[in-house]
Structure formats: C-alpha cells, structure tokens
Amino acid sequence: PRPVPGPRGEKGGSEKEAKEKAPEPASAAPAAAPPMSEEEYETERKRVLEYFFDDKDADEAIAAISRWGGFEPRVPEFVQHLVVSGFERRTMDWDAAASLFRMLPRSAGGPAPEAGLVAGVKLVLDDLEDHKCDLPKADTHLATVLAGVVADGSVAFKEIAAAAHEAGPEGETGYLREEGGAAPVLCKILAAVADACGAPRAERVLADSGVDLAAFIGDMDKEDGVTLDAMLEKYGIGTLPAAAALHPLRAKLAELNEVSADSSAALASWIEGEAAASARVSTEFVGEVAAWALAAVPADADTSSPIAALEPSFAALRAACKGPDAGSPSKSEIGKEAREIAVLSAAQRLCASRSFPAGLLERIFRDLHAGDVLDETAMKAWRDDESSAIGLEKIAGKEKALFETMELLQEFASDDEGAEDAADLSDFFGADRAGATFWMALESHTGVARVFLRGVLRDAPSQRRA
C-alpha cells in the first residue's frame, strides 16, 4: 500500500518545518513482510512447492519465496524439506529441484544466504546413510541438486565439503566420512559439474576450494587400500585434481605460438579431431583459444578498418565456438551461444587490460561478426549477461564495455524488435524524438528501457508521458 500522507506542519510553522515533516516518497522501498507463523509458513511452503513441481516455473517459485516474511532463519529447514521430501516421492524431478535450488542463493538474486543453504545441506548429509538405505541413489540426487550452485560459485564447494566432513547423526560427528559416505557425494558433485559445464569447471572448483579429497576416504576403504585415483576414476572424474582438461590445449597453443592462417587452420583441425569433448564443451576452453587469438591484436590497432592481425584466427575461433558434436557430453548445459559469449568476454578482458582504447572493442566485435565467429544474438546475450565471467573468472569493465559497444548493439537490433520498438516509441513519445532516441540508446546500453517501456504500454496504453 502507498504511504498515507503525514501532516503538513502545525499552523504558523515554517515551510522548512513542513518539508521536514513530509512523508517519504511513494517510490521508497516497501517494508519487509512481517514474519509468518509456523502454520502460515507450512501452508505457503506446501503450496509453492506443489505448484512448482507441477509447472516447473522456478522464477515464479523464487518470487513467491522472496515474499515470505522471516524466511532467512527457515532456510536450512526449507532445504532439508526440499531434498528429503524428494527422496520420499515416487517420481521426483531432480533436474527441476536443481533449477530451483540454483536460484535460491542471494548472490544469484535469490532470497537465501549461503550459510543457510549450507546448513540445510548439512541436515541432509547428517542422515544421508539412512536415506541411502531406502533410496540407494540418494547421494546422486543430492549431487544433482548441488551441482548448479557449485558450478556458479554461489555456494562454495569448500563449505559443502566442510559440512560433509562433520556430518553424522546427533552425537556422531564425522560418521558420514568415517563410513565412506562423504567421498562419493563430493565426487558426484564434481562429476555433475563436469557433465554440466565441462571438466575445466570442475577442476577449477576443486582447485579453488583447497579440499583434499583423500581426507574423505572412509575408514574401511582405507583398510582395503582404496586410493584417491581409484576413487576419482570410479566416479568419472579420473584426472582431478590435476589441471589436465586444458593442458592439451595449452600445449597446442604454445606449439603454434603466433597467429597465422596456417596456425589457425592447424588449431581448428586439432580442435575438431583431437580435443576432448569434456573440455571442448566448456567456456573455459573457448576463453583460452580467444586469448591466443586476441593477443595478436596490436596495441595501436587502427579501428577504422578490420584488424588484419585478427582475421587469420577466425577458423580456430569458429571451431572452438562450435563445440563438440550434439549430445556429447549428453548432460552439458553449455551451448554454442555461451561459448560465443566467452569470446566476447575475452575481448572485453583484453580491452579492459589496455584501459579500453577508443573504438577497439567495437572494432573487434564487428570483425568477429563479419568473420562468422558469432552473430548478433550472441552480442545481445553478452549485453544482458550479468555474470560477466568466463567460467568462474570474473571479467572486469562490463559497464565501460557496454558503453563502448552501444552504437553497434543498436545497429544489431533485430528487424522485428526494431519495428515493434519504433511503433511503441512513436505512440508513447509522439513528436518528442529526443525522448525516443534516449530510450533506444538506454535499451542498447542496459536492456532496461525495453522492459520498462513495454510494461508501461501494456499496463497503461492510453497514458502519455507523465
């Protein structure tokens, strides 16, 4: 509800006093919802989750959860309920549960703090051995739920490993680890990350965590002589924690050294014929190829015409963006567009490292487009990508990069969107060409104006400028 206007001030008071007593603007952030009672919470949780598993709309579910008053202290219990109730369902869509869980962390725009999510995972891990008695694949399903947040870096693998290290029924701290149940679930999380985002992502997650997986081998497995290598091989992540996935590519790039038509063709041939699919699918793989290609761009490149030194690399870049054959790896969520975004992010990284020379980023983007390395759809996706990262590597300078490429992004607006927006703008702004131009420029810069304008036109089609 809008705030009720307060008193204008007592009779005879000064204008300053009246202003000091004026209410807050109507646009001020609404107050937090009051905490729900246990009964209200149980009812809402049941309703939202039932709707979610019926229509699989994670955005709607997160929006509803975000409105729950007093949710933060209930996060651990919510996570436990989500997973354990899934164990008890006859037919459970674990991929849907993973999509919901992936949107819960605050760092992903959700309502749940990382600590609360980890505490909830710990509750599940405490009784995981019992759950496996009834559902032998319980740890596999849990790994499916956790893989997304780990791959995104929104929940640290280190924290999940710490929870697994201590997990056990009440009074039996460390029981899961001692019984050999902790190592499999951690390995399965890493394997699921590798399946979804490529082996380089799983290796980066493990390396960044500092976790020693050998410390999680169970007591009986140790007595039987089970080694870390054997355990990793068993769960499909054989070479971890060595940085093996990108090693062959890096060795090939070092061998080829300078960018030329011949070296690019040789690299493209190697990518198509010899590069492992588990590495080739990843954005990290593309980032390495793009860094090699972009290193050829001179510091004083003439941006008024195509950069001759970059053109020879296009064959290799196209091969890297193409990725492995469809369905290999079968569970990968990384598609061609994500790999093309990685090339654009690599160009952003290069220009940021050079303090954004005037016109260079736009020139590179134009050349990549002209060379059929990527299309305008990828550029729009890069524009709207809030992560600004290649894998887990954050790329600096996104705001400046957007500014530098504003004109180009306007040019690449699709014909359909351009016609629709032109009609909307003409109707809304009338003869005010300056207003229309401003909104089109802002849309290209941030993608905000289109959402705002269409919302206004939808909700109040007859309204003119306020």
Q: Report the range of poorest mean pLDDT among 222-231, 232-241, 278-287.
A: 232-241
Q: What is the mean pLDDT of residues 384-395?
A: 93
Q: Is the pLDDT of residue 451 over 50?
A: no
Q: What is the mean pLDDT of residues 379-385?
A: 95
What CA–CA distance (Å, rounded) separates 75 from 73? 6
At 421 the pLDDT is 57
Dihedral of the CA atoms 284, 289, 292, 293 (nearest 10)? -130
Q: How many CA atoms lie within 13 A of 396 on its CB side?
A: 7
pLDDT, tens only, 326-360: 655 557 889 999 999 999 999 999 999 999 999 99
Kindly report the CA angle at 359 between 353 and 361, in degrees rounded to 5? 50
Q: How many CA atoms lie within 13 A of 320 on its CB side?
A: 32
At 13 the pLDDT is 44
Closest CA to 287 of 347, 245, 244, 335: 347
Q: Is the pLDDT of residue 82 over 90?
A: yes
Give the model's confidence band at 157: pLDDT under 50 very low, under 70 low, under 90 confident, else very high.
very high
The pair of structure tokens assigned to 411 is: 């040019």
pLDDT, tens only, 394-433: 999 999 999 999 999 988 775 445 556 555 555 555 555 5
Q: Where are the beta strands (DSSP E) in 350-423?
A: 389-390, 393-394
Closest CA to 148 of 191, 187, 110, 99: 99
Higher-pLDDT residue of 387 and 289 is 289
Q: Are 131 and 80 in contact, with CB atoms under 8 Å apart? A: no
Q: Is the pLDDT of residue 167 over 80?
A: yes
Higher-pLDDT residue of 305 and 237 is 305
Q: List Cα–Cα distances, 50 to 259, 261, 461, in angstroms.
A: 55, 57, 36
At 206 the pLDDT is 93
Q: What is the mean pLDDT of residues 221-229?
A: 85
At 242 the pLDDT is 54
Q: Tokens 């019984």 sit at which residue?
A: 179
Q: Is the pLDDT of residue 118 over 90?
A: yes
At 30 the pLDDT is 52
At 229 the pLDDT is 83
At 91 the pLDDT is 86
At 420 the pLDDT is 60
Q: What is the mean pLDDT of residues 105-113?
A: 95
Residue 181 exposed, middle or buried by CB count within 10 Å (0-12, 13-18, 19+): buried
Q: Where are the beta strands (DSSP E) in 391-431?
A: 393-394
Q: What is the mean pLDDT of residues 371-397?
A: 94
Q: Report the range of poorest mean pLDDT among 266-270, 285-289, 332-336.
A: 332-336
- Mapping DSSP onto H, E and C, the string for 237-248 reads CCCCCCCCCCHH
DSSP state of 14: -
Q: Where are the beta strands (DSSP E) in 20-137?
A: none
Give the model's confidence band at 437: pLDDT under 50 very low, under 70 low, under 90 confident, else very high.
low
Q: What is the mean pLDDT of residues 433-459?
A: 50
pLDDT, tens only, 7-58: 333 334 444 444 444 444 444 445 678 899 999 999 999 999 999 988 899 9
The pair of structure tokens assigned to 206 is: 């493990």
Closest CA to 116 of 101, 97, 137: 101
Q: What is the mean pLDDT of residues 201-205?
A: 94
**What is the average pLDDT score of the chain?**
85
Q: What is the mean pLDDT of residues 78-100?
A: 93
The alpha carbons of the chain give a radius of gyration, in whole angstroms, of 27
Q: Is the pLDDT of residue 370 over 80?
A: yes
Q: List Cα–Cα distances, 52 to 46, 100, 108, 363, in angstroms.
A: 10, 9, 19, 45
Q: Are 102 and 117 in contact, with CB atoms under 8 Å apart? A: no
Q: What is the mean pLDDT of residues 307-317?
A: 97
Q: Is the pLDDT of residue 458 over 50?
A: no
Q: Is the pLDDT of residue 265 over 70?
A: yes
Closest CA to 413 of 385, 450, 438, 388: 450
What percentage of the chain has pLDDT greater than the value 90? Answer: 69
